[in-house]
Structure 1
């Protein structure tokens, strides 16, 4: 059996382990999936009537705001799901199981890869649940089959990047409690982007930051796909560039710290 086959087989074993953990810690999984739904309902039903009237000067009310806010909430679902991965990695690193894994004849990278693959499954599940709730309260996306497929690819790309970043945070954390706090900026960045209000409404330096931080192009690409209006070339370039850069950073740091851990 080749090295690649060993890595794949061991990664699938670690994925099964993480799926069992998702069932064992069902409350954490439900909280991470439910958080974006709470934000969706909060912003649509509490703020949507007023904010919807201010979108581009069009009086659209709650229905218009629902169509606007869904892509941003989907990115929050990605970030929230990844936060749980950071906690699980830190638990592995601090509870001694990693020392046992290192004495076994398994590919080291498979331990982290199992976490990443399980996180991607949880992210897709969170996206599906959030979209289901959005449709139930009146959201009607205009995406065609190709755009839905593109949205899935974008979600997986972004989820992969963010997950490796939080895996690195989990590996370097001193405790699961620290690991739960480290990814918090990922949940705050959508608020400083175009998730809930257009960046055009922001002043000076804040608008510049909002337009070029990673979540805004990710949100705008998702919004263009869901609305069926097409994707802006600059947004797509920034979205892919940020995803590649963050994935590379997270993977490099995670591998280095994991291999050095005693």
Structure 2
């Protein structure tokens, strides 16, 4: 059986994208390489291959967007508007609220999309399952040994403001987990935590996969709009008011513990929605 040609965002395989990243985000990438000693990784995007291989039961290889058979994890649907080979979408999302082009020259089959906002923009709400494939992290990577600590998974762009990032972690008593490490390492740290603070969307999603209480934050760098966060969070019934770093940093320990308690209860309440999204993704994969 031929391998699945999967597109995911990967700078190592795209010299043009890598050059642009180094021009526009040099401080973040220098910090990422020096600190994590991994070259140009983003754990959320890199999960796509391992999850797809486990779920579809086939070898998966990276493909350029226009040649891909399948897309999964990531805010990458805008890239599917360009001419290319027929492609299936399994849990991907749009990056912004702008409606996609209607007259795309590509045959796109939607098996599942990330969330309701993406489905609305595509005009397919109610027609396909919704959920991010990262929700299957626990099923794919397994259960780690619990450490019972608090961790913070920043958005990549926040690495450019290292002092601010470390000050935040010190203030809230969190251990920093870099999103540029290998996916199995990041997933293990999230799954073993007592509480996760995360400005990384896939930090939030992996925490939900493991049922770990998560406090979602909007990146203090201002690099991301809330769209993709709200797109995903609407599926699992998560609170949709993203927290602000400054508010948490200046809050009393009592107030932070109260927020953690609230998020712990919310995690329990949304377990059925998370389970339903997982089942929907697995059912959608069987239609590939």
> Higher relative contact order by CA 8 Å / sep ≥ 6: 1 or 2?
1
Between structure 1 and structure 2, the one with the greater Rg is 1
TM-score above 0.5, yes or no: no
